[in-house]
């Protein structure tokens, strides 16, 4: 599958979104939402990310973030890996939680910031057909939804220290006026107005005008457009493989070793087959398919797999 362009630079602004694997839930109960919020807060502290807006849904999430250090992939990679490990440990499961790689669109904040914040906040009540009007009777449902930053913008709740509320100024210079204008602006979505600006997305990854798009293209000039600029660097993968060598040194179950090298070490099935003296990669595929179900029935296997995941996560970017 073609990889989207991933452009990383200092002081970038991004709309980040990821869905649950097979569109399954990434938050099952209230404590999961709180755990995800806690993990986002740690990402802010540990990676210097600025969070301007968010909305957490049962099977996907949205973030609008700033990257003063130019470390998008490393930060979101850490967020998703860390939350996956915590979620898996809590619910007694293994394997991927998120579907593929996260999406990241570069945003011209001055042109699209106000619209994007409102659009993301409206996720809990927006019809699947984006062109449809949001019913007026959904306002209370929207206004009471606890897992978005809407309540910080509306003034219903004080924003935590890790949340950056400076984008409130897009609705007005004085906070009280800005909140009043934010309320008026987002209320119009329930009064028959619709505004879908996704048709203005350029190149599949830039939400901005032509000049902004041209500036962004300079950053990817000479790059292969089917590759990410920064995801797992060679140095990072080397660290992961060294960690696997260490943690698997005393592991006696070859099935767990095979799973670890294929799923975390990034090795092709055929290479794993050679490592463990199998004739071809089909046997590895069979083991990888069966092991998750087997682990759910065998607590010792599950325990060992979670141990490996937890250890290796320290080295993943």
Question: What percentage of the chain exceeds 70 in pLDDT?
Answer: 91
Tokens of 74: 């490393």
What is the C-alpha to C-alpha distance for residues 75 and 275, in angstroms, rounded to an integer? 32
pLDDT of residue 230: 43
Does the pLDDT of residue 87 top 60, yes or no?
yes
- Residue 268 near residue 281 (C-beta atoms within 8 A): yes
Q: What is the rounded CA–CA span in Å between residue 292 and residue 111?
A: 46
Distance CA 168, CA 180 (A): 11
Nearest to 28 by CA among 79, 85, 87: 87
Q: Average pLDDT for residues 264-283, to the nearest whole number?
A: 87
State the average pLDDT over residues 47-63. 97
Q: Which residues pair with 95 in a beta bridge?
A: none
Tell me which of 34-43, 157-166, 259-268 is least confident. 259-268
Rounded to an integer, the average pLDDT of 132-158 is 94
CA distance 89 to 224: 38
Q: Which residue has the higher pLDDT, 296 or 233?
A: 296
Q: Where are the domains of the chain?
A: 12-219, 234-315
Beta strands 206-207 and 103-107 are parallel
Across 77-101, average pLDDT: 92
Q: Residue 229: what pLDDT?
A: 45
Question: Do residues 209 and 111 touch, judged by C-beta distance below 8 A?
Answer: yes
Confidence of residue 225 (pLDDT cuts 50, 70, 90): very low
**Does residue 12 have a pLDDT over 50?**
yes
Give the pTM: 0.73
Q: What does the pLDDT read at residue 101?
A: 82
Note the pLDDT of residue 243.
Answer: 87
**Which of the four pLDDT bands, split at 50, 70 and 90, describes residue 33?**
very high
Segment 146-173 shows an average pLDDT of 96
Domain 12-219 sits in which CATH superfamily? Transposase IS200-like (3.30.70.1290)
Cα–Cα distance measured from residue 314 to residue 31, given in angstroms and rounded to the nearest whole number: 24
Q: Which one is predicted more confidently, 132 or 142?
A: 142
pLDDT band at 30 (very low <50, low <70, confident <90, very high): very high
- CATH class as words, domain 234-315: mainly alpha
Band (231; pLDDT cuts 50, 70, 90): very low
Cα 273 from Cα 164, distance rounded (Å): 49
Q: For residues 2-25, give the mean pLDDT.
A: 85
pLDDT grade for 316, boundaries at 50, 70 and 90: low
Burial of residue 241, with CB atoms counted within 10 A of its CB: 0-12 exposed, 13-18 middle, 19 or more buried: middle
Q: What is the mean pLDDT of residues 233-244?
A: 72
What value does the mean pLDDT take over residues 33-49? 96
Residue whose structure tokens are 């490996």? 308
The pLDDT of residue 167:
97
**Contact at 8 Å (CB) between 145 and 30?**
no
């Amino acid at each position: 599958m073609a990889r989207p362009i991933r452009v990383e630079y200092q002081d970038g602004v991004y709309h980040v979104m990821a869905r649950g694997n097979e569109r399954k839930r990434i938050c099952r109960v209230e404590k999961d939402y709180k755990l995800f919020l806690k993990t986002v807060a740690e990402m802010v502290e540990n990676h210097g990310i600025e969070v301007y807006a968010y909305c957490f849904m049962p099977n996907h999430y949205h973030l609008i973030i700033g990257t003063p250090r130019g470390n998008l992939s490393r930060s979101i990679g850490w967020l998703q890996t860390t939350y996956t490990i915590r979620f898996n440990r809590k619910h007694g499961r293994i394997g991927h939680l998120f579907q593929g790689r996260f999406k990241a669109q570069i945003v011209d904040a001055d042109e699209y910031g106000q619209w994007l914040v409102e659009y993301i906040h409206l996720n809990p009540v927006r019809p699947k057909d984006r062109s449809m009007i949001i019913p007026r009777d959904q306002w209370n449902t929207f206004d009471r939804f606890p897992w978005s930053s809407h309540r910080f913008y509306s003034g219903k709740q004080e924003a935590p220290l890790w949340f950056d509320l400076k984008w409130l100024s897009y609705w007005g210079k004085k906070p009280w006026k800005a909140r009043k204008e934010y309320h008026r602006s987002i209320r119009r979505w329930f009064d028959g107005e619709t505004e879908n600006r996704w048709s203005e997305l350029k190149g599949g990854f830039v939400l901005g005008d032509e000049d902004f798009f041209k500036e962004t293209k300079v950053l990817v000039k000479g790059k292969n457009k089917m590759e990410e600029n920064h995801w797992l660097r060679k140095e990072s993968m080397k660290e992961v493989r060294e960690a696997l060598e260490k943690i698997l040194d005393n592991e006696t179950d070859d099935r767990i070793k095979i799973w670890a090298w294929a799923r975390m070490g990034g090795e092709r099935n055929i290479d794993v087959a050679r490592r463990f003296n199998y004739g071809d990669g089909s046997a590895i595929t069979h083991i990888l398919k069966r092991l998750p179900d087997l682990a759910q029935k065998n607590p010792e296997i599950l325990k060992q797999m979670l141990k490996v995941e937890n250890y290796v996560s320290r080295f993943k970017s």
